[in-house]
Amino acid sequence: MRRPRSDREILMLLATVVAVLALASLASGCFAGCAALSAAGLAWLAAELAEIPVSSAIVGLVLTPLVFVVGVGLLWKGICESLMRTETAGTIMTSRIREVGGDSYEWHVVSRVTYHLDGAMHVAEAEHAAACPSEVAARQRQARLKTGDPVRVFYRPGEPGVVRLDAPPPRTRTLLAVGAWITCTGFIVLFLTGVIFAC
C-alpha cells in the first residue's frame, strides 16, 4: 500500500501543478490569446489589452506569483485539514491556556498528549476543539482536565505528529473555495498578460 503523503509532499505537488498550469496560461495567452478572445466575441477586449504598455504587463508578471502564494497556501491548508479525520485514543500529560488575539480575543486550552500508532508512542501538543470566550471559561475547562485522562486524538496518516483533540478540524470548504478562486484569478491574469505581449 502506498505511503500517505506528508504535508510537505502535498504542498510540493500542489505547487508543481499550479506552476505548470500558470506557465500554460501564460503561453496560451501569448500564442492563442488574441484568436481565442476574437472567437469568443471579445475582440474589443483584445483591442483594449493591446493598448496596455508591455512594461505594465511585466510588472504584473512579476507580482502575479504573490497571488499564487496566497492561493496555494489556502488550498494546502484546506486539503491538509480536510484529511485530518483518523482517530486514535490518547492520554493527557499536561494542559495550559493560550490566548489568541485578533479582531476579538479568545482562549484555547492546549494539552500535551501521548498516543500510540503502529506500535510507536507519539507525543504532541495540540488545542482542544472549541475555543473559550473568556479566560475564566478556559481556566474552568483546564481544571476539568487531569493528567492521565483519556482524550480523542485526530490526525492525518501522512502527518501523525500533527493532531487535533476532541474533534477533527471543521470542514474547510471556505478555505478551499477562496484558495481555488484566488489561484484561478492568477491563471486569468497570466492569460491576459500573455495577450498583452502578443497583441
Q: Domain ranges for the chain, please list them.
A: 7-82+175-198, 86-168
Tens-place pLDDT, residues 44-90: 888 888 888 888 888 888 889 999 999 999 999 999 888 888 889 99
Q: Between vectors from CA 163 to CA 161 and to CA 167, what angle results, nearest 5°?
A: 160
DSSP secondary structure letter of residue 101: -
> Sign of torsion, CA 47 48 52 57?
negative
| Rg value, the chain, Cα | 24
The domain 86-168 having CATH identifier 2.40.50: the answer here is yes
Residue partners of 22: CB distance under 8 A and separation at least 6? 64, 68, 186, 187, 190
pLDDT (tens digit per residue) in 88-140: 999 999 999 988 765 567 889 999 999 998 888 999 999 898 888 888 998 99
Smallest CA-to-CA distance from 3 within 198, 156, 175, 179 is with: 156
pLDDT at residue 130, as a whole number: 81
Q: Whole-model pTM?
A: 0.76
Residues near 47 by Cβ (< 8 Å), separated by ≥ 6?
199
DSSP, res 168: P
Residue 2: pLDDT band with limits 50, 70, 90: low
